[in-house]
């Protein structure tokens, strides 16, 4: 009887061992599933992001076109080039006599653009206040001109007989993005190009170029940002104004965005 | 537990273990392949969405339009919005600056997935949502946008579950099949063992002639053969023991009889002398009879002692000249020769040396000459010797009455006498040839007897030849 019971027990143990052994695949997959969930791993063929060029950005394409057209000096209606017939380009006037007097709406627009720059961290508040102060004091007059590519130039003159150009701004009319700004004020203020330039990149929505960097070894090492992909340079500078005439010492603040080839420059 | 059952259990455990492990590896490999194949398709779709979105961003840039969250949300909604609630693709678009703050610009991902659960750029991760598992891919796009797409892995896991179910059914079939096969195989394998067990029991019960008769070319066959050999040895040993017991009983019976016969004569004659007053002639006859029977008893006891000593002690053999031993024996046999009609012994000196005990060898030859004299009173007894290789054959031949062939094998048994009345009359005790046989055995030899009734008997003793010692040779 005892032997029979022992035999039965051993057979039961054998059967009990077979069941979990047979269920090894279930345990195996339970373990591998647990290890699979939440486990980050690198993609085998990760997506390679598109590399944009300057022509992928409307603003830069416009600037490039302007440079190209300006270089050929074509102001006629049609131009026969190697690549075929091209459209004509008419530049906007850069002096008050050739410009149109800006009404209040245009002046408000100018102020709005400046505020956008201030809010975007591009133009220091002190410079904006300085500009406003001199405009109010001198009751400065504003003129504008446009070229055939849609760039609008706004210029504000102050001083006796409006002889001093306080502000010279170029804006793309479609996007409202500033491509150039020149301020000549009686009093200068501190600027921080390292903060202002990235802010301007973002404001102009050019951060997609993805390779903005300081153009080391060039004249713009301390005041510029360069994009190899976009072949474009933007600068932010301030200092003594040696350009504006009138005998009075003035200070300038400058923002410039334009096509630039680093290799050529160097 | 029977051995066959143990064998079945062991085979089943091994089969199940290896089948389950092998199957697991196979299924897992298949599952990984499906997962990888699915990943390739998912990555292609993810890349397509990434490309479409980046293209849209660049298009907006080219057109000079603002790339706002609202624009992209609408675009994503058109591009990625699942039309089917059971869609296998989900997506979310985050901006770097908004990922941790205001959440996604667009998202159809389950709310249970936090931003910390989502993979980094160029990575993927498997996340659980309810009962289903999704693989989520993350990629940083232009302008600080990050796109996540998630793909349902339910079909891959469902396919695995189907494979697993099929495998488990197959495994169950294999286990049952293996159990049946192992049972049949183990029973067939252990049947010879059961037969051996049964045979050993029957042999233990006394059926010594039983043999298994299993002849296979494996270890079990060898075991059966060894078992049969052992059984044969046991049978022989038992037979030998039975024979020994029988011989002992016969010996005791004969011994008792041989003791009783002279004692009866001695008692009878002694009683005659005690009760009556016989005349001197009768007294002399009675005393002679008593002397004769007592002499027989003494001779019997001496030979018995010799037999006992031969059984107990191992002889120290030494080289000795055979001629001298024969000469001593012939000299000692003279009274017996005279008593048996003046029989004559012819000897032929050979100069041979043998290994032996001088006294025992002398006794051996003496007994044989005495027996020969009794077999053919007045006849000629020839004692010859010759060397054959390393042995020396000493032969004692008579021309007496001979021994019947059916009794030749028993004449060396103690107390066995072919003609008892004649033997007793001649003072024989039936121990002579038994003693000769033992002495021959003690010398490492045999005692073959050739005889033909009415023509005589030849007894040959096989002895080991010896070299003549140098000092003896010099003498």
3-state secondary structure labels for all residues of chain A? CHHHHHHHHHHHHHHHHHHHHHCHHHHHHHHHHHHHECCCEECCCCCCCCCCCHHHCHHHHHHHHHHHHHHHCCCCCEEEECCEEEECCCCCCCCHHHCEECCHHHHHHHHHHHHHHHHCCCCCHHHHHHHHHHHHHHCCEEEEEECCCCEEEEEEEECHHHCEEEEEEEEECCCCCEEEEEEEECCCCCCCHHHHHHHHHHHCCCHHHCCEECCCCCCCCCCEEEECCCCEEEEEEEEEECCCCCCCCEEEEEEEEEECCHHHHC
Q: Tell me the pairing of strands B380-388 and B344-347.
A: parallel
Query: Maximum CA pair distance of chain A?
Result: 129
Tens of pLDDT, residues B166-200? 999 999 999 999 999 998 988 888 888 888 888 88
Q: What are φ and ψ of residue A254, in 5° steps?
A: -130, 135
Comparing CB atoms, the residue among B28, B63, B122 nearest residue A58 is: B63
Residues of A in contact with B39 (CB under 8 A): 44
Distance (Å) from the C-alpha of residue A14 to the closest C-alpha of chain B? 6
Classify the phi-psi angles of B148: left when phi > 0, otherwise alpha if psi is within -120 to 50, otherwise beta.
beta
Distance (Å) from the C-alpha of residue A54 to the closest C-alpha of chain B? 9
For tokens 């600027």, what's the residue? A191
Q: Does the pLDDT of residue A265 top 60, yes or no?
A: no
Residues of A in contact with B28 (CB under 8 A): 28-29, 32
Name the pLDDT band for B299 (thresholds 50, 70, 90).
confident
Q: What are φ and ψ of residue A265, in 5° steps?
A: -65, -40
**Contact predicate A60/A206, CB 8 Å:** yes
| End position of a domain, from candidates B163, B179, B198 | B163
Cβ-defined contact of B126 to A38 (cutoff 8 Å): yes
- Domain encompassing residue B246: 209-313
Cβ-defined contact of B122 to A43 (cutoff 8 Å): yes
**Contact predicate A175/A252, CB 8 Å:** no
- Of A93-102, A125-134, B199-208, B406-415, highest mean pLDDT: A125-134
Other beta carbons within 10 Å of B88? 16
Name the pLDDT band for A266 (thresholds 50, 70, 90).
very low
Question: What is the CATH number for B376?
Answer: 3.30.565.10
Mean pLDDT of B285-311: 78
Residues of B in contact with A32 (CB under 8 A): 28
pTM, 2 dp: 0.60
Residue B181 lies in a domain: no
- How big is the CA angle at B195 (ends B194 and B196), to the nearest 5 degrees? 90
pLDDT higher for A166 or A246?
Answer: A166
Is B21 an 8 Å CB contact of chain A?
yes
Distance in angstroms (rounded) separating the CA atoms of residues A223 and A209: 19
Write the burial class of residue B162 (CB in 10 Å: 0-12 exposed, 13-18 middle, 19+ buried).
exposed
Question: What is the CATH number for B239?
Answer: 1.10.287.130
Of the candidates B328, B266, B264, which has an alpha carbon nearest to the alpha carbon of residue B295? B266
> What's the mean per-residue pLDDT of chain B?
85
B283 and B257 co-located in one domain? yes
**Contact predicate B106/B77, CB 8 Å:** yes
B336 and B243 co-located in one domain? no
Comparing CB atoms, the residue among A22, A28, A62 nearest residue B28 is: A28
Distance in angstroms (rounded) separating the CA atoms of residues B102 and B315: 119
**By three-state DSSP, how is residue B123 classified?**
strand
Residues of B in contact with A50 (CB under 8 A): 51, 54-55, 58, 142
Residue B270 lies in a domain: yes
B265 and B354 co-located in one domain? no
Distance in angstroms (rounded) separating the CA atoms of residues B383 and B368: 10
pLDDT higher for B247 or B403?
Answer: B403
Name the pLDDT band for A261 (thresholds 50, 70, 90).
confident
CB pairs under 8 A between A and B: 144
Residue B459 lies in a domain: yes
Cβ-defined contact of A58 to B168 (cutoff 8 Å): no
The pair of structure tokens assigned to A90 is: 């008419």
Distance (Å) from the C-alpha of residue A40 to the closest C-alpha of chain B? 5
Distance in angstroms (rounded) separating the CA atoms of residues B419 and B435: 18
Is A77 an 8 Å CB contact of chain B?
no
B28 and B151 co-located in one domain? yes
B295 and B346 co-located in one domain? no
| End position of a domain, from candidates B313, B339, B359 | B313
Q: Give residue B189's pLDDT.
A: 83
**By three-state DSSP, how is residue B290 classified?**
helix
Residue B172 lies in a domain: no
Give the containing element (helix H, strand E) for B135: strand B132-140
**Contact predicate A264/A215, CB 8 Å:** no
- Helix B358-375 to helix B432-442 angle (10° resolution) is 150
Of the candidates B20, B24, B22, which has an alpha carbon nearest to the alpha carbon of residue B32? B24
Domain count, chain B: 3
Give the containing element (helix H, strand E) for B106: strand B106-107
Name the pLDDT band for A60 (thresholds 50, 70, 90).
very high
Q: Give residue A244's pLDDT.
A: 67
Cβ-defined contact of A57 to B28 (cutoff 8 Å): no
Name the pLDDT band for A79 (thresholds 50, 70, 90).
low
Of the candidates B383, B434, B428, B444, which has an alpha carbon nearest to the alpha carbon of residue B409? B434
Is A36 an 8 Å CB contact of chain B?
yes
Q: Give residue B267's pLDDT.
A: 87
Cβ-defined contact of A205 to B27 (cutoff 8 Å): no
Residue B135 lies in a domain: yes
Name the pLDDT band for B475 (thresholds 50, 70, 90).
very low
> What's the mean per-residue pLDDT of chain A?
87
B88 and B24 co-located in one domain? yes
User: What CA–CA distances, in Å, run from B318 to A227, B102, B355, B393, B440?
Assistant: 124, 123, 5, 17, 15
Write the burial class of residue B453 (CB in 10 Å: 0-12 exposed, 13-18 middle, 19+ buried).
middle
Q: Give residue B84's pLDDT.
A: 65
Of the candidates B363, B375, B450, which has an alpha carbon nearest to the alpha carbon of residue B417? B375
Distance (Å) from the C-alpha of residue A224 to the closest C-alpha of chain B? 20
**Contact predicate B315/B355, CB 8 Å:** no
Name the pLDDT band for A213 (thresholds 50, 70, 90).
very high
Distance in angstroms (rounded) separating the CA atoms of residues B369 and B335: 11
B292 and B438 co-located in one domain? no
| End position of a domain, from candidates B136, B163, B190 | B163
**Among all residues of chain B, which has the CA nearest to that of A43?**
B123
Q: Tell me the pairing of strands A78-81 and A164-172.
A: unpaired
Q: What are φ and ψ of residue B223, in 5° steps?
A: -65, -45
Q: What percent of chain A has a predicted confidence (pLDDT) above 70?
A: 90
Residues of B in contact with A210 (CB under 8 A): 142
B289 and B320 co-located in one domain? no
B157 and B15 co-located in one domain? yes
Residue B334 lies in a domain: yes
ipTM of this predicted structure: 0.77
Distance in angstroms (rounded) separating the CA atoms of residues B134 and B265: 124
- Of A44-48, A142-146, B425-429, the one with minimum mean pLDDT is B425-429
Residues of A in contact with B5 (CB under 8 A): 7, 10-11
Is A201 an 8 Å CB contact of chain B?
no
Q: Give residue B282's pLDDT.
A: 84
Q: Give residue A75's pLDDT.
A: 59
Tens of pLDDT, residues B57-107? 888 888 888 888 889 888 888 888 766 666 678 888 888 765 454 578 888
B269 and B253 co-located in one domain? yes
Tens of pLDDT, residues B390-433? 899 999 998 888 888 888 888 888 777 777 777 766 667 677 88
Residue B400 lies in a domain: yes
**Among all residues of chain B, which has the CA nearest to that of A29?**
B28
Q: How far apart are the first and last CA of chain A?
A: 104
Distance in angstroms (rounded) separating the CA atoms of residues A25 and A33: 12
Residue B174 lies in a domain: no
B332 and B454 co-located in one domain? yes
B34 and B105 co-located in one domain? yes
Q: Which residues numbered 160-219 in B keep a CB inside 8 Å of some CB on A?
A: 160, 164, 167-168, 171-172, 175
Mean pLDDT of A22-39: 92
- Of A86-100, A133-147, A155-169, the one with minimum mean pLDDT is A86-100
Among B21, B142, B144, the residue to mutate for chain A (most A Cβ within 10 A): B142
Tens of pLDDT, residues B7-66? 888 999 999 999 999 999 999 999 999 999 999 999 999 999 999 999 998 888 888 888
């Amino acid at each position: 009887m005892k032997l029979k019971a022992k035999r039965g027990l051993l057979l039961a143990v054998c059967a009990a061992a077979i069941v979990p052994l047979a269920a090894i695949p279930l345990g195996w997959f339970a373990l591998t599933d647990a290890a699979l969930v939440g486990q980050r791993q690198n993609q085998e063929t990760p997506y390679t992001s598109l590399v944009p060029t300057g022509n992928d950005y409307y603003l830069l394409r416009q600037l490039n076109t302007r440079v190209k057209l300006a270089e050929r000096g074509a102001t006629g209606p049609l131009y026969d080039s190697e690549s075929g017939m091209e459209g004509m380009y008419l530049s906007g006037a850069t002096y008050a006599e050739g410009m149109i007097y800006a009404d209040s709406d245009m002046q408000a627009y100018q102020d709005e653009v400046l505020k956008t720059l201030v809010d975007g961290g591009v133009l220091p508040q002190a410079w904006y206040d300085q500009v406003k102060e001199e405009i109010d004091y001198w009751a400065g007059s504003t003129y504008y001109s446009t070229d055939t590519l849609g760039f609008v130039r706004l210029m504000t003159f102050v001083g006796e007989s409006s002889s001093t150009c306080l502000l010279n701004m170029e804006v793309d009319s479609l996007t409202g993005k500033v491509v150039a700004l020149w301020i000549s004020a009686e009093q200068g203020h501190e600027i921080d190009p390292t903060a202002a330039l990235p802010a301007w990149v973002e404001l102009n929505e050019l951060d997609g170029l993805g390779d903005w960097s300081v153009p080391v070894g060039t004249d713009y090492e301390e005041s510029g940002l360069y994009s190899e992909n976009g072949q474009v340079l933007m600068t932010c500078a301030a200092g003594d104004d040696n350009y504006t005439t009138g005998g009075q010492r003035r200070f300038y603040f400058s923002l410039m965005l334009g096509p630039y080839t680093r290799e050529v420059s160097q | 537990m029977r051995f066959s059952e143990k064998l079945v259990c062991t085979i089943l455990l091994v089969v199940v273990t290896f089948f389950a492990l092998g199957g697991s590896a196979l299924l897992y490999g298949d599952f990984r392949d499906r997962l990888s194949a699915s990943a390739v398709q998912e990555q292609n779709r993810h890349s397509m969405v990434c490309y479409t979105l980046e293209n849209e961003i660049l298009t907006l840039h080219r057109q000079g339009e603002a790339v706002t969250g609202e624009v992209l949300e609408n675009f994503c909604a058109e591009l990625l919005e699942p039309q089917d609630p059971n869609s296998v693709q989900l997506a979310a678009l985050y901006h770097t600056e908004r990922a941790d703050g205001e959440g996604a610009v667009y998202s159809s991902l389950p709310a249970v997935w936090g931003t910390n659960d989502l993979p980094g750029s160029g990575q993927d991760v498997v996340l659980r949502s309810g009962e289903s598992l999704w693989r989520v891919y993350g990629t940083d796009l232009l302008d600080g946008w990050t796109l996540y797409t998630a793909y349902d892995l339910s079909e891959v896991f469902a396919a695995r579950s189907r494979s697993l179910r099929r495998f488990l059914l197959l495994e169950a079939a294999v286990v049952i099949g293996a159990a049946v096969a192992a049972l049949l195989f183990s029973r067939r394998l252990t049947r010879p063992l059961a037969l051996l067990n049964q045979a050993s029991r029957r042999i233990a019960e006394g059926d010594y002639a039983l043999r298994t008769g299993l002849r296979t070319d494996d270890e079990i066959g060898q075991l059966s053969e060894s078992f049969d050999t052992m059984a044969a040895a046991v049978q022989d040993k038992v037979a030998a023991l039975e024979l020994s017991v029988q011989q002992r009983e016969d010996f005791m019976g004969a011994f008792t009889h041989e003791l009783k016969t002279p004692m009866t004569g001695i008692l009878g004659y002694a009683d005659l002398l005690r009760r009556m007053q016989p005349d001197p002639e009768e007294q002399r006859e009675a005393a002679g009879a008593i002397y004769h029977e007592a002499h027989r008893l003494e001779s019997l006891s001496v030979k018995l002692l010799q037999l006992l000593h031969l059984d107990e002690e191992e002889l120290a053999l030494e080289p000795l000249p055979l001629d001298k031993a024969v000469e001593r024996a012939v000299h000692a046999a003279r009274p017996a020769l005279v008593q048996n009609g003046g029989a004559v012994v012819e000897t032929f000196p050979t100069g041979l040396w043998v290994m032996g005990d001088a006294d025992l060898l002398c006794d051996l030859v003496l007994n044989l000459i005495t027996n020969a004299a009794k077999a053919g009173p007045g006849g000629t007894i020839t004692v010859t010797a010759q060397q054959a290789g390393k042995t020396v054959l000493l032969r004692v031949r008579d021309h007496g009455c001979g021994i019947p062939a059916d009794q030749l094998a028993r004449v060396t048994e103690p107390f066995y006498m072919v003609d008892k009345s004649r033997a007793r009359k001649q003072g024989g005790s039936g121990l002579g040839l038994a003693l000769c046989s033992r002495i021959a055995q003690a010398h490492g030899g045999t005692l073959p007897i050739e005889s033909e009734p009415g023509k005589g008997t030849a007894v040959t003793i096989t002895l080991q030849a010896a070299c003549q010692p140098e000092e003896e040779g010099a003498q």
